[in-house]
């Protein structure tokens, strides 16, 4: 955040996970692409064009070589989770709370994390479509954490407008409760709706989620560990409800350039809407507008990335590592 869309020192970033004794298997794109096997391509070039975010360069080759293997892996995880659930139900029998509800099963929850402008929204939308067209046509829902930002009026009251997107700018309790309720199998759960056009929560509007088979939760800070409560006790983290998680990674310098390029394009398109929060930046010279965007990156998005978002990378099940051209170059998959 903000979505108009200091860089960490190079020495502070390890571009590859630890070696054979580390928690990840490191794969090149070529190696990863062979894991697709017979997973069918169910998307057209036109659909990919509609799904990708502004500034992203994803195409059918990227879908075939990166996201079809990922869809296959996720389908295997979903199937394995069902098997584990069956084993647990056999073990527990009729004992324990909610035996009947437990046997019905709960949604498989996927977290997608990464910086502003890194392309995590495109990844999430692609996964929603690919998984929804899987062997059993599961019902897949996508929720972004933007809806759980505090309204701008509340952020101003707390002095947090200049920290929008930082962990403290979210209603973390409501977000965690929302995912917990979906995971518990509640028939209907609702979430607030955020508008990037007006840069605020939409009063009175709610997103309704009704017992999905798979829930994708996308956001900057979804992999953050739980913070201690006022009583000093550690709380449950949002990521504790995830069955699988993806971190979309790239060098901060590259992400900064993508952010600025997206700002340029938004200035020519969405910002021109009369209701746009950022419309004033279409009425000034381009260099003045870009100076504003650079300042936003230097004071908000960049620090948030290095202080809060990037440190959660090592908690992900899978890390997608992008090169300067926005394409995935390497992948790191956590060992079991």
**Binding positions for ATP:** 114-121
Tokens of 236: 């449950």
CA 87: distance to chain centroid? 31
Query: In 10 A of CB 227, how many CB atoms?
Result: 11
Binding-site residues sit at 114-121
Tokens of 174: 């409501």
Contact 107, 187 (CB under 8 A): no
Query: In 10 A of CB 161, how many CB atoms?
Result: 16
Planar angle of CA 9, 11, 12, nearest 5 degrees: 70
CA 132: distance to chain centroid? 17
For the chain, the three-class secondary structure string (H helix, E strand, C coil) is CCCCCCCCCHHHCCCCCCCCCCCEEEEEHHHHHHHHCCCCCCCCHHHHHHHCCCCCCCCHHHHHHHHHHHHHHHHHHHHHHHHHHHHHHHHHCCCCCCHHHHHHCCCEEEEEEECCCCCHHHHHHHHHHHHHCCCCCCCEEEEEHHHHECCHHHHHHCCCHHHECEHHHECHHHHHHHHHHHHCCCCCEEEEEEECCCCEEEEEEEEEECCCCEEEEECCCCCCCCCECCCCCECCCHHHHCCEEEEEECCHHHHHHHHHHHHHHHHHCHHHCCCCCCHHHHCCCHHHHHHHHHHHHHHHHHHHHHHHHHHHHHHCCEEEEECCCCCEEEEEEECC
């Amino acid at each position: 955040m903000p979505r108009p869309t200091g860089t960490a020192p190079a020495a502070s970033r390890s571009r590859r996970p630890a070696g054979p004794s580390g928690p990840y298997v490191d794969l090149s794109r070529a190696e990863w692409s062979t894991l697709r096997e017979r997973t069918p391509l169910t998307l057209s070039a036109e659909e990919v064009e509609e799904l990708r975010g502004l500034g992203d360069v994803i195409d059918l080759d990227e879908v075939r070589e990166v996201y079809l293997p990922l869809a296959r892996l996720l389908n295997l995880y979903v199937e394995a989770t069902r098997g584990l659930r069956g084993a647990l139900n056999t073990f527990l029998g009729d004992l324990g709370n909610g035996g009947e509800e437990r046997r019905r099963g709960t949604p498989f929850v996927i977290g997608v994390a990464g910086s502003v402008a890194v392309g995590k929204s495109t990844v999430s939308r692609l996964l929603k479509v690919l998984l929804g067209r899987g062997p059993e046509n599961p019902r897949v829902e996508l929720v972004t954490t933007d809806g759980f930002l505090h309204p701008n009026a509340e952020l101003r009251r707390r002095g947090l407008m200049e920290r929008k997107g930082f962990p403290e700018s979210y209603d973390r309790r409501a977000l965690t409760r929302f995912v917990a309720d979906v995971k518990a199998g509640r028939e209907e759960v609702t979430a607030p709706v955020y508008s990037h056009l007006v840069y605020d929560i939409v009063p009175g509007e709610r997103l309704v989620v009704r017992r999905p088979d798979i829930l994708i939760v996308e956001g900057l800070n979804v992999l953050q560990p739980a913070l201690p409560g006022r009583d000093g006790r550690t709380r449950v983290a949002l990521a504790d409800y995830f069955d699988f998680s993806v971190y979309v990674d790239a060098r901060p310098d590259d992400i900064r350039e993508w952010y600025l390029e997206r700002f340029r394009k938004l200035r020519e398109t969405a910002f021109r809407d009369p209701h746009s929060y950022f419309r004033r930046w279409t009425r000034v010279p381009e260099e003045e507008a870009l100076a504003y965007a650079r300042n936003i990156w230097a004071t908000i998005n960049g620090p948030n990335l290095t202080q809060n978002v990037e440190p959660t990378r090592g908690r992900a099940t899978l890390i997608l590592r992008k090169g300067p051209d926005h394409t995935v170059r390497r992948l790191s998959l956590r060992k079991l």
